[in-house]
Amino acid sequence: MKNTIARLSCLAFSIAALPTFAAKVPALIIDGQNNHDWKATTPVLQRLLEDTGLFTVEVATAPPAKDAKLADFQPDFAKYGVIVMNYNGDMWSAATQRALEGYMKGGGGMVIFHAADNSFTPWQAYNEMIGVGGWYGRNEQSGPYVRWRDGRQVLDFKPGPAGHHGPQHEFVVETRTPGHPIMQGLPAKWLQAKDELYDFMRGPATNLTVLATAYADTKFQGSGEHEPQLLVIRYGQGRVFHTMLGHGPDAMKSVGFIVTLQRGTEWAATGKVTQKVPADFPGPDKVSLRN
Ligand code: ZN
């Protein structure tokens, strides 16, 4: 009798626990090294993803720069529906690189957040996953600049360094691929809160779709080009959402950043977006912030 009750209560627990587990996608944020304040931004990323009700979020913190223990850093990528990269630092072991490549080729999901596109210059597969990147020795050897000119994506192979931004300012983000699930229902133009506007980014740019751009105005030392800010990349069967926005916690209060991060992460994880566009999503004239 005792055993039966134990078994029954165990069964009841499993049934009760199942729908929650089945409904939420496990996400993993990776941090631990970054030239940005990852200790401040990871909790914000975690909260924004949990706020959707779609994800359970864990964090894997890599050992610090130049620490020999980094050789043993190998998250179990396969446990997660999406990997959120908040890491810009020392190269991972060959085994960990191959593991991430295999996870993505097999249909994994990944989000590249802001300076994560600075990381791993010598790792060719990572450059293919991010599409374009900047700084840390990238140049014309890395691939073309990607710009938006005359209504279409243009690859510019002229020589030069990769990665730049002027002083932070508010800027208009323009939707370029309105039919993509991440962008469906968003306005054609909206204002991002004061943030860094990355320009002169370059890379392999294969299997890449530009979702949204921003004009890098020369009055803010920009390129004078419409520069990609939100992208998606196919890598094998895997899906990558790449947002260049979100330098720090203040810029991450911008509703445009928040909503595109939440929708982009869902798309990277599942290939679909079920989230509705919220009423506080900005238009082109006024920044919308959440605390
Ligand atoms: Zn930054």
Identity of residue 93: S
| Cα 268 to averaged position of ligand 1 atoms, centre (Å) | 22
| Cα 117 to averaged position of ligand 1 atoms, centre (Å) | 10
Query: Helix (H, G, I), strand (E, B), or coil: what is residue 218?
Result: helix
| Cα 35 to averaged position of ligand 1 atoms, centre (Å) | 8
Q: What is the pLDDT along the chain (291 residues), one digit of tens a residue?
A: 444 444 444 444 444 444 344 689 999 999 999 999 999 999 999 999 999 999 999 999 999 999 999 999 999 999 999 999 999 999 999 999 999 999 999 999 999 999 999 999 999 999 999 999 999 999 999 999 999 999 999 999 999 999 999 999 999 999 999 999 999 999 999 999 999 999 999 999 999 999 999 999 999 999 999 999 999 999 999 999 999 999 999 999 999 999 999 999 999 999 999 999 999 999 999 999 998
- The residues near 147 (Cβ < 8 Å, ≥ 6 apart) are 153, 154, 156, 223, 225, 226, 227, 228
CA–CA gap between residue 266 and residue 111 (Å, rounded): 10
pLDDT attached to residue 17: 41
| Cα 36 to averaged position of ligand 1 atoms, centre (Å) | 6
| Cα 260 to averaged position of ligand 1 atoms, centre (Å) | 17
pLDDT attached to residue 164: 98
The pair phi, psi for residue 40, each rounded to 5°, is -90, -35
| Cα 247 to averaged position of ligand 1 atoms, centre (Å) | 4
Going by the DSSP 8-state scheme, the letter that residue 119 receives in this structure is: S
| Cα 30 to averaged position of ligand 1 atoms, centre (Å) | 17
**Residues, CB-to-ion distance under 5 Å, ligand 1:** 196, 247
β strands within the chain, DSSP E: 25-31, 55-61, 82-85, 109-113, 145-149, 152-156, 169-175, 189-195, 208-215, 226-235, 238-243
| Cα 64 to averaged position of ligand 1 atoms, centre (Å) | 19
**CA angle, 180 then 185 then 186, to 5°:** 90
pLDDT attached to residue 22: 61
**Token couple for 9:** 């209560």
21-270: CATH number: 3.40.50.880
| Cα 16 to averaged position of ligand 1 atoms, centre (Å) | 43
| Cα 212 to averaged position of ligand 1 atoms, centre (Å) | 18
| Cα 133 to averaged position of ligand 1 atoms, centre (Å) | 13
- Rg, Å, the chain Cα set: 20
The pair phi, psi for residue 239, each rounded to 5°, is -120, 130
Can you name the residues that pair with 232 across neighbouring β-strands? Answer: 209, 241
Domain assignments of the chain as residue spans, ordered by start: 21-270
Q: Which residue has the tokens 């991972």?
A: 92
| Cα 114 to averaged position of ligand 1 atoms, centre (Å) | 7
| Cα 196 to averaged position of ligand 1 atoms, centre (Å) | 6
